[in-house]
Chains A and B, each alone.
Chain A
């Protein structure tokens, strides 16, 4: 690398007056780093589990903080050897990205074994360390560049942010062109272009040649090495849904499309069987189960969602045994709306039940495109061309919120058909279709006497998601019909299968209740609530206590505390027979229980009893106490807290630690706490490290140290929380988390970049103007927190391109202002000669960004998405007094630099 130094022109030995080519190079490299983050997340989403991708990337971003510590410690060395160090770091980014990704594929880890297999956590750590390396190299390069261009910080920062932002859009577009197994080409190309431009800017021609060679080798290596070495380009977990389809002897991929909406694949196999919630009585009520009826649709390898073939007329009795048939039992020839098309089963059921028209919404354009593909048209009998069918190409919830049309049946059935049954837990994802606001939209869009029908998986024991669903529907029903809600609901469930809730506008008639009850009985489903249902709450408290003990009990003498043995407890209606204790050490045992009292099982299962108690309390009072006594969180979903996940109450979190295997379905949530913990520990050690390096000596001339740390911590936290929080919010309008993330990251960074460029104009009057800017950010964020929801609903009803544009613009005001505080403060640190603090501030900012990104889902699930923006607003408010500490002059005379 010394050759590079010797060939650079003396006139640009420093970066105090960078040229356009430098800015472009910095922008491209920063863009490459953002692109690499998105690419790594895609690799994880397809190979294993997207949550771990976010975790790994988030921790890898600590590379920025780590590099700042090293640069801080060896500042003098870096000042002298900056060109060689920057060149080395730059040339390493590509090879490291390729090499570490390749090695990571040989040490895959498996989420489902994380608790049970000690080796898995080392594999996770290996993945983290591997993916850290390219980010570390990138962070070193950018850190050195910032160090050397501190007087031109605002502009370099502009290049950094804008480059990152635009790269986000480039990646979004390139997701149409590159499949996940080749997506890392995009960051590699950006890096190659950036590196070559960087060397050209210095006239370092030997380095240009080196750059071209290294880039070509990296890209070629990325594309060819897996094949040569026999390593998978992405090691897809054998536990991903799509892996099973590939293992079926006749499994065959019949369709694939890659896009920002995910990697959508459809497999055909005679081994695929779907019938979500099928009545057990189908075994005796149907002449024959239709065979070879489905193909399976997988998104990013998760699934399958069943796509049903066109059934022969004789086979169509099948629909009657599915829970989505419920509303049609009392609605003849209805005008129907299906909120989410998905794999199309609900739509088929609606058509089959004799709907005069079926309007169906699907917000994922790739799903519709797949169904219009000749192959799937052939499979489905071209369902989308059915004359009774009308397709809405955006969110059904938003359509219903904005339409004047009224429907006899509105169906939301298993819209997340795989979401709640995935092994290895499910992510903290927003379920806007199930919120209080969504329910109200559905209810308003019902014609008089119209029926809303919602079916959800009921596979949890103790029940979790279904109770959240019940409380959401009940609260919406009470808002919509304050006096008559108790007469508007009919609910059933099938143990460890599905639950269905019907809401009828105007209330059910006695005849309808009778019809529905008869249908329920004929299907062997359990009644959970109907108007006038008798209720005996004598055993309620016991069920609640038992459920708590089943999760958080001490486990001491576990079997002896069972209901049957507890003579002091009130009579337990759930106990079928006091003499029948399946755990009693007798032989034969369980068979005796099975036949006890001539009954094959208990009269009412605790889970069913719990559901009955829930509905009773929701509609007649006592819900608050029941919810607080129940072991899990049962709060209603709202647009502010649209989560089924995160069901562990915060106060119970410490008690989960010794029984993690019981919470395998909430690992997304628990992992975020783990990430936050790791990020906090790392941040604390980075803040404390200067002590090791001699805080007093190094900073002896710098005043306002603590205030400066606070200022940059607030900026780091505030900025990232807005960014990540808005990604969740904008999913409402953009209907897809990946697109939302790309648009948000891009628009935030681009407008912040412009803000940092504009900040040059206020540098000299920063003492008076920057507090105003910070206050304005605070006010804007508070306003967004309160008023964003209706605006996004409104945007969501426009065509997709307009939605993208409006979202982009909506982000611009706060993003522009949020670009100014960082650039202004960094420039002032440089002007005041606080060079160590300058490097340090960069690291603090990075650290707190990681903490902030981990904190967002926790704040959102606990306090709501508005709270995320409010907390950010507070961070910017605290930054106002802290800013004055930044402006404190050094004790020793400083060199007054002329602003660039």
Chain B
């Protein structure tokens, strides 16, 4: 880290830490979903986020470092996705004991036998379904709530279902607390505690569906509630080594449907991507970084 950055961050952190909790809680300015969050350099990003969102510079620095690696690895591609990632405070969705590892290249335990996927995987999956503003998205398996929070920065119709009741309630409280603090964007997320196997018929059909829980087949109800030519993604395999199955409900000329399975790389074998880390301002390919 450069000395100047260090001093700036230290000063920011010091100033931040003396603010009373109630002041820290509310956003300094109303949340703007379309804000042009600067992402070309770390300092302007942190400055902007501290000024506009009042977030902790420590986590902002970690978020930006992770962001740079994700851009390098092409986990996020377009500017909308990049800003959506940068706008989502992942630290609000991890357990207290994992706060120090919130932005690690790792999935983390969130209780109830559920994990929050690593930021790179969330980035890839979200990029893969290419959510446009106004599209209806269904998430099956709310879990920590981070995926839907990320999606809420891309569209205003996010629906999420969690099967485990206490987890669904906890995540709802997380959203409500954030909304109270001024994260109005999370008002776009409607959540419920139910069996996601049957989808959410009353609010469907959906343009995009993300399934984040294990199942031995694709639930027929979800395919039914997917719009023609809609896309569904499902991670398959053990956590940390998951492959993302992409399913497209292709509408044929005769109006019947054909379900096409592929992965999110559209049939290309993607070479192993090493762990990467920042050394100063440089991203270096390394292992076990």
Contact = CB atoms under 8 A, between A and B. Distances in A.
A250 to B, nearest CB: 10
A664 B239 CA distance: 8
Given A271-B197, A284-B256, A496-B261, A659 B274 contact: yes
B274 A555 contact: yes
A658 to B, nearest CB: 4
A658 B288 contact: yes
Contacts of B231: 594
B280 interface: no
B61 interface: no
A461 B273 CA distance: 15
Contacts of B73: 558-559
Contact of B248 (A281, A564, A594): A594
Interface residues of A, number: 94
A586 B220 CA distance: 33
A275 B221 contact: no
Given A112-B239, A421-B216, A552 B272 contact: yes
B236 A496 contact: yes
Interface stretch (A145-153, A201-209, A577-585): A577-585
A600 interface: yes
Contact of B271 (A237, A555, A589): A555
Given A547-B269, A587-B79, A606-B267, A112 B262 contact: no
Contacts of B259: 280-281, 283, 524
Contact of A600 (B129, B237, B250): B250
Interface in A657-692: 658-659, 661-665
Contacts of A275: 216-217
Nearest to A275: B217
Interface stretch (A240-248, A346-354, A712-720): A240-248
A110 to B, nearest CB: 7
A589 B127 contact: yes
Given A280-B259, A494-B261, A549 B269 contact: yes
Contact of B197 (A115, A273, A422): A273
A813 B83 CA distance: 73
A740 to B, nearest CB: 28
Interface stretch (B37-45, B105-113, B142-150, B178-186): B105-113
Task: Identify the interface centre among B231, B236, B256: most chain A CB within 10 Å of its CB.
Answer: B236
Nearest to A285: B220
A274 B111 contact: no
Contacts of B78: 586-589
Contacts of A562: 268, 270-271
B74 interface: yes
A117 interface: yes
B164 A247 contact: yes
A587 B267 contact: no
A864 interface: no
A662 B256 CA distance: 39
B240 A115 contact: yes
Contacts of A662: 241, 272
Contacts, number: 238
Interface in B143-163: 163
B260 A600 contact: yes
A574 interface: yes
Interface residues of B, number: 74
Task: Identify the interface centre among B127, B223, B237, B247: most chain A CB within 10 Å of its CB.
Answer: B237
B243 interface: yes
Contact of A273 (B215, B229, B245): B215
Contact of A550 (B112, B223, B272): B272
Contact of B267 (A113, A289, A554, A602): A602
Contacts of B257: 284
A575 B112 contact: no
Contacts of B287: 658-659
Contacts of A575: 267-268
Contact of B216 (A276, A424, A553): A276
B163 A271 contact: yes
B220 A289 contact: yes
A249 B165 contact: yes
Given A282-B220, A587-B80, A459 B248 contact: no
A110 B215 contact: no
B263 A461 contact: yes
B128 to A, nearest CB: 5
A95 interface: no
B271 A244 contact: no
Contacts of B250: 600
A585 B74 contact: yes
B195 interface: yes
A751 to B, nearest CB: 42
B285 interface: yes
A593 interface: yes
A225 interface: no
A385 to B, nearest CB: 28
B238 A665 contact: yes
B218 interface: yes
Task: Identify the interface centre among B109, B260, B261, B274: most chain A CB within 10 Å of its CB.
Answer: B261
Contacts of A587: 77-80
Interface in A510-549: 524, 543, 546-547, 549
B196 to A, nearest CB: 9
B43 to A, nearest CB: 23
A551 interface: yes
Nearest to B267: A602
A591 B132 CA distance: 10
Contacts of A586: 77-78
A831 to B, nearest CB: 55
B227 interface: no
A447 B195 CA distance: 46
B269 A543 contact: yes
A277 interface: yes
B97 to A, nearest CB: 9
B113 A239 contact: yes
B122 interface: no
Nearest to A424: B238
B246 interface: yes
A590 interface: yes
Nearest to A248: B163
Contacts of A276: 216-217
Nearest to A304: B216
A445 B272 CA distance: 45
Contacts of A284: 223-224, 256-257
B221 A289 contact: yes
Contacts of B109: 110, 113, 117
Contacts of A282: 220
A247 B288 CA distance: 35
Contacts of B261: 280, 494-497, 601, 605
B130 interface: yes
Contact of B77 (A273, A574, A585, A663): A585
Given A423-B238, A497-B217, 14 more contacts: A247-B112, A273-B219, A276-B216, A278-B220, A559-B73, A559-B74, A585-B74, A586-B78, A589-B78, A590-B264, A594-B130, A658-B287, A658-B288, A665-B238
23 contacts: A117-B101, A238-B112, A247-B112, A271-B197, A289-B221, A423-B214, A497-B261, A524-B260, A550-B272, A555-B285, A556-B285, A576-B266, A583-B270, A584-B77, A585-B74, A588-B78, A590-B264, A593-B266, A602-B266, A605-B261, A605-B262, A606-B267, A659-B272
The 5 closest A-B pairs by CB, nearest first: A602-B267, A587-B78, A238-B113, A658-B287, A555-B274
Interface of B: 73-74, 77-80, 101, 104, 106-109, 111-115, 127-130, 132, 163-165, 195, 197, 214-224, 229, 231, 236-241, 243, 245-248, 250, 256-274, 285, 287-288
